[in-house]
Amino acid sequence: MLTYKEWLLQFKEIDLPIGDMATAIELDAHFPNTNDYESIQEYVKTNPTLHGFIRVFEYSFKMFCESTQKKI
């Protein structure tokens, strides 16, 4: 099963906020490679490079869960 990070990286060529976030994550060697919502949310909120993507994260995590059948 894909992790959220692996799933999100599929969007890196998309010219939308989700693609911008995917590009930023690709460049971030410390982004959590997990499916744990709280861990990723905390990282996004406290990382200056990603802080502006909090709403994109929340929306895309729901999309991730729906597409992978993961329960929140």
Q: In terms of Cα–Cα distance, which of 43, 45, 35 is closest to 72?
A: 35
pLDDT digits (tens, 9 = 90+) for 39-59: 999 999 999 989 899 999 999
- Please say if the pLDDT value at position 23 is more than 80: yes
Three-class secondary structure assignment of 17-72? HHHHHHHHHHCCCCCCCCCCHHHHHHHHHHCCCCHHHHHHHHHHHHHHHHHHCCCC
Quote the number of domains for the chain.
1
pTM exceeds 0.75 for this model: yes
The first and second tokens of residue 43, run together, are: 């990282």
One-letter amino acid of 60: S
The values of phi and psi at residue 34, to 5°, are -145, 175
Q: Residue 22: give the domain boundaries.
A: 4-68
